Amino acid sequence: MRRHLLAFAAGLATTVLALPALPCTRTLYVGADNTVITGRNMDWSEDMGSNLWIFPAGIRRDGHAGPNSPTWTSRYGSVITAGYDIGSVDGINEKGLVMNALYLAETDYGAPDRKRPHMAISLWGQYVLDNFASVDETVKVLAKEPFQIIAPPLPNGKPLTIHLSISDASGDSAIFEYVHGKLVIHHGRQYKVMTNSPIYDKQLALYEYWESIGGLKFLPGTNRAADRFARASFLLDAVPKQLDPNYIAGVPKQSYAYQAVAEVMSVQRAVSVPLGISTPDQPNLSSTIWHTVADQKNLIYYFDSAMRPNTFWVDLHKLDLKPGAPVKKLTMAGGQVYSGEVSVQFVDTPSFKFMPAPAP
């Protein structure tokens, strides 16, 4: 059996080597005291001018893909990280539902069908945060495919091919991918780690091989997505899931919640790609430019930039997310430095315009 796994993994690895990928990594930590934390790295080939935004409930939106786009009013407020201020790529809503959009080169949304409602890819993640409180609720709706994703290239010409991971305060998880024009959903608490290429079924198969070897003996060390998946999975399983007496004295307030956040942040940093690192024969393998860690029990969203000296966070309990509250922005695109809890530093600002998609 092991020989078959080795041969299968080798074949998959050959496929992976041929694929350009922009590496990101997502992990889901579930520990004692109903602690649930999602960590995520954004790896990209350039600074994407990310800013943080507060979106209250009650915002009217549409799918920005022509007259056949769905419309909705946001049920829940959220804190999100924007990419290029044209779309939501990461965030948490007031119910503890977390969304992470990661690059997937193999994504195929299918040929546009004029008979179906259309959703611009820039709004896919925000639609989830606006409308759902749990993973199960999200899966039940999106499995019916109420719209078709339309994904034009980014302004810099890069293809906008992503898959979506979501997690909730109960520890439930789901992965959404479009493969050969079909929506594939992996739903379950066991889906704790996601990277980029290959598609998720093959990521799981590759990890089965590495798991059979055992991470204490050997772990793959490159910056490729499949290797990061194996490392992140091993490290996530290895870190303590309860208060650790060896380190708790140095943790703020000797709090297990803070210890768990620190553990997830350390896992994310351990699978990061150092700033400025590139692979000559794979120019799309990219540096980690920021990390987020979302504490879904305590509703705190941590942000850690690879280009700034401090980690800071937003306590959603301190935000006005009721309908009619203003949209607010925390500007980071100019290299601003923040530390500690920053909710009071957000400034009332009209929302960025989500990148539209042409009507099919």
Question: Could you give the strand order of the β-sheet that contains 287-295, starting from the edge strand earlier in sequence?
Answer: 193-194, 25-31, 35-44, 287-295, 300-305, 311-315, 340-341
User: What count of residues does the chain have?
Assistant: 360
Q: Which of 9, 21, 24, 294 is catalytic?
A: 24
As beta bridge partners, residue 54 has 79, 328
Angle among Cα 262, 268, 272 to the nearest 5 degrees reads: 140
How far separated are the first and last CA of the chain, in Å rounded?
48
**CB 244: neighbour CB atoms within 10 A?**
14
CB-neighbour burial class of residue 180 (10 A; exposed 0-12, middle 13-18, buried 19+) = exposed
Asked if 7 is an active-site residue, the reply is: no
Identify the CA nearest to 354 among candidates 189, 151, 164, 192.
151
Which of these, 300, 298, 240, lies nearest to 34 by C-alpha position?
Answer: 298
Rounded CA gap, 305 and 291, in Å?
A: 6
Which residues form the catalytic set? Answer: 24
